[in-house]
Structure 1
Amino acid sequence: MGNHLISASVSTQSVTFQPGGEPAWFDVIVNNDSNQFADFQLEILAAGSTNTPGYRWYMLSPEVASAQPPGSTTPFRILIQDTPVPGFVGTVNLTVRIYSPQLRTETRLVVRLKIEQGDTPTLLRVEFPVVRIQVYPQNSVDVPVRVRNLGQRPIDVVLNVLNLDPSWIVKPLQRRVMIDPLGQAETTFQCQPPSANKVLSQDYIYTVEATTSQDNISANAQGILEVLPVGFVEFSVEQPQKQIIPNSRRWLPNWKSKSTTFKLLFKNASNLQQYVNVEVQGRDYRKCHFQVIPENAELNIGETTPVLLKVTTKRPWIGWGKTLFLEAKSILSNPSLGSTDPATQILELQVLPIIPLWLQLVVLALLAAVLALLQRLFIPPVIHTDNVRVVRFNGDHTLVVSGSDDCTLRRWRVDSNSLESKREERERSVSEKTPVACGKLQNPTGLLGVTNVPVYSLRFMPEDSFRVAAGLENGEIQLWDLRTQKQIQKVNLAGANGKKIQVFDLLFTKDSRSLLSGDGSGKILLREITTDGKFAPNYKLIIDLQKQLNLSYQIQALALSPDNEKILVAAGSYRSFFIISNWNTKSPYVLEQKARDGQDTNEDKYIHSIAFVPGSPNLLATSDSFGFIRIWDLRQCLTNAASKQQTQENCAEQVDSWDAGSGVAVRSIAFVNFNRDDGGKLVSGGDDGRVMLWYLTPEGKLDKKISKGKEIDQNSFGFSAIDSADSKSKVVSGGVDHRVRLHSIK
């Protein structure tokens, strides 16, 4: 049965009981030999014992013990107040069964009970219909008592409560009842314990004694008054709640200091004496080792008990340092009051590198100067040679492909905090010599291919993370395979014929069966994808906005709504966008939305980038030529589209708007870690040379309480492209300075 988890002993191996006399008793001490909190229950078994309702031949205190920590002991007292077998005289073996629901095991002890002949015949019996009564401090409760007359004549009985503070009994302190021969009578005592700060939550054993007024015959029975727990245990952390390692000598190398101590405080504002244990969890708990002193702290009533949490972690030799977030969770030995208030505390630990930052910067500056000199002399840079117009993560966010005005596509591997551009064996087949694109020499390392014309757009196929479509300046769409590093196919837009009808954006449907393209002629075309992953030879015209508007219009960006792609949005010239429902049918329905801020909406003023708020089919973000990011609510537009109402333009409601580009164009936006419960972040990049991080509320508004915007990168030329790996909190950017950068979003 796994008795090694429980051990127990009795105060005596033999006990004698005489009916009508004082109750007999013995103690049982139970030891928790396990490695967890556990409570214990006792049951006394005797052959032939009666199960008559209301008849209790023994009483147990406590009936159920509260959970105790490993290594603790729990005392029980068993009171024998009647014979287990009525009328029996002799010796009975009592089996004490001890078991624990948490440990799922039990052990047994044997005690011999010797029952002697009573001195006087039993003519009177006191019983409790309810042996255990529960009550909260300062509340009143009725204690029912039943008295039986076992004699042949009527009796007058006086009842008294013994072994309980008389102030707890609501007067009168005595009860008097008349009982017919062989009859019974019931009465109640009203009990009201004092306030919680004057009475402990525990079992109080009391005796009700009945005495006949004629011949002074008496009988008694014992009951249990359980005072229930009230109040709470307050859990706090002594300031400072943020600790730093090392505690001192931070300006000098210090490799010995690797631990700190948080002081946790527990104030027992209840009437329940118990223990508390502390567990540490949270985002970074696996990076640390913990020691709790004391391991199981006793919480005395009305007192504040300190518990020390010593945290030890490995410090890096170099780096910027790191901030660890830990969660201290309290576990009370008795869950009657629930958890502490609060149940957990967030602890912040800043771990500084062994070598101070200032010294690292000095060394890095020297190394950077040396490396820059070496690179200038011997190593050609692995970068584009012209403006990087577009960057994209693949489906599993392990690769990035970039397209540039230098007529090339480059492939980058995503490391934890950087991009790598390594030359593999199969890359040598691209060109053993230094390749040339758009009249410029290109570094072959990381080169996916030469497109011969500038690249304006890129999209990965959702169901194949190694196939990417590229839209070019001359209206051509090329399909590339990253595994073979070869071009699979190329097609031309309708009506291109060598003209510069730029493919500004591409968009695969989620099932990878169709590719949408938006171009400088105002057309949205759809090409089906065959079973072998190639473009079908024919295309379908979704809409021609130049023809519909009867004016020149360039489509700069496309987006499909996240609700099964019911809505297609196209944005571009005149700082306007179009909401297209039934887009894949013969009769698409189109609604137009223009900026309404009083600024220019000329043909050469654009909405450059759009993105649906993740998880929302009706919230759309846009960025434009004046540097504004706007959040639009499309619900009215979708309602109009569903009913095909002939409405005026500008059906969308502007939720929020802010200047994100210092008055110049914001070229690209992307969402990071956004959900409808907590909100999230939006990243932007534009002509002001900044990559900015913006915090949004769940409604899509700029959350100014957190930050008005955080700069995460900058250059002197500007940024043309942004993309996010949302699940990994990574953002990649492409700049006018020819570089591709990876940013980690915390």
Structure 2
Amino acid sequence: MAKSLISASISTQVLRLKPGGNTASFEVSVTNESEQFATFQVELIAAGTDGNLGSRWYNLSPGISAKKPPGDSTKFYVTITDTPVPGFVGKMNITVRIFSLELREEERQLLRLAVEQGIGSIPMQLELPVREFKTHPTDLLEIQVRVYNPSQSPANVVLHLLGVERSWLIEGTDRKLLVPAATKTETIFLCQLPSAGLAPSGTYPFTIECQQVNGPSSSIQGAIMVAPGGFMDFLCTPALHQIPIGNRWQLKNWKSNAATYKIQFDNASNLTQQVSVEVHAEEPRAFKLEVIPESSQIAPGETTELLLVANKKRRRWLGILPQRFLFEVKAVVSDDRLDVRNDTQILKLRVLAVVPIWMQLVGGFLLLFLLWWLSWLNPKNPFWGHKEAVTSVQFNGVGEQVVSGSNDQTTIRWLSAGFFNPLINQQMGVIGRNEKGVRTVRYKPVDNDLMAAGLENGEIKLWDVLGNGKDPISSFSYQKDDRVLALEFSKDSRYLFSGHGSGLVLVWDVERTNINTPNNQPLRGKKFDFAVNSLALVGKAGKNLMIGGRYNQLVAWNLEKDKWGRVSYPRKGGQEDYIVSLDSAEYNPNLLVTADNQGYITLWNMQQCLAEKGLCEVLDEWSDGHGGKPVRSVALSANGCYLASGGDDGKVMLWYLTAEGKRDPQFSKGKKIDQSLKESEKINSVDIKQTGKYILVASGSDDHEVKLDRVERPRNAQCGNQE
């Protein structure tokens, strides 16, 4: 059998104890039976003891012995001051445990303790099943308390909960209980935590104190640990700001360069926070950004405000649309355990020009008006266009240019493209200035390098339209003051026919080799008994000259045979009746159109009468195109499919014809394509040109305007869509 390393004995085996009276003492002798130095300790163990009491029911001296050599002994003195089990009366066993940490061995002795009825009351024993309550704001806690009465008599006790805000306790801070003898009773304190702002995060220690009448009190401690809760609300206003602020009509606001945003933190949490912001500008070099103050401390439930001042370094002086900038503002808090709502916000800033929009618009309008007034777009501009009524217009061969003559004694060349593009000046330049008003102008058919102008004083001038000379290359007349009312070039451009107010029709040789011949005289001529208003070459060979004029006279002059004859006009005319305009189609030379001041437009087939095989055939005739008012000018397209007319009603009309030379039944009412500035201002001259899918119509009127209109060729027209 192994030898015990510890030898122990107690001075008595039985003790008597009267709680509240005499104590009970005994000795414990311990011998070191080992072969090494060792320290010894003594511990008393009683079944059913209160764990809260620990070793407080007895005293021990010494608490631990000095190191003893082998064979040496030591004594411990033990005094039992209270019953190990509160309220117990009777006999109980006490185990005396002797042990050594060095020897790792122990010895046990048994002591019999007789406990008599004590003197006085016994304190209540309190127990908290949960000592630490981890919770959040607005939570409802149940603080459970157990009260044990160790005495042999029932006890009336009052429990007080101390250390917790009274407003948190729903049913108050006190509980009255009747605790039967040797019985455990439970009760609950209900604790309702307020919102985060009223329940700062932290540890809230509390004490539950138990008081009994004529008896000792007892207490127990616990703690409520409020975790961080709630949130921080972040708001920036306004979301959209503007520089300048306020009434822009006030001059003091014009040069304002700053905008101020309010940054608001609302602490709906239970933590005290240090708050600030981070600001990122879309264009940082354009602004000086300042936050006032840079940071702020905010307690739970409080609100604080910072100011973000954005200073624009340089504002534009002019600009209709505002400059737009973005700022990213991010909330920064010292404790990031809590949520920051809307922690990043985008702020917008509109920066207006220094000069207010209304002033820019007024100034811009005035500038545009001035530019417009000085430009070719202004029909009344004294520096552009004609100053008096336009009497004659004509396209060149390809329709890219137009020439016009006017009572203001000028002839002007125009670029067709400029009439459809406001960025292009349509006026190419004044070809020449004359001593009298210009009644008619005509391009030389071959090369379009010359232009003939017939003047009010009977003079005819030839101008080089491709050169820049200020003087005509030739000028000639037959009778002074015999107005030139009509001009027509021969197809080979060698001859020029002129019609005069006296009734003369003259033929001039205008080949360049003969132009500058001194005292240039007409090759031949005819004198008629009516004023000649219009001329047109008809027939395939261009050997017949149609002459129209006063008294509704229409004459065909066979140039080859030098014979002429009258053509029967549908209406006999008096001295106030005129055939004012004639034209033929270049590729359909037997088609002739006439217009008179009675408002009639007449289409003719000249084939039979030119061949002297019958009367000239009237193909179509109408008078409702210009409301019965005089028709001043008509013009046929080269293929004879389109007809333009202008009259005293101020309208320019386009008529679609059939291949036979009649009005197309689908478009019998014609198409109005232009109107003079005033209906009372008549259209004096029109010309027409077909270019690709478009029909171009030029017109000149009493309103001093030269106009050019473009109409798309109709797909369903009977004539003109063969190309």
State TM-score, norm by structure 2: 0.43
Which structure is larger by alpha-carbon Rg, 1 or 2? 2
State TM-score, norm by structure 1: 0.42
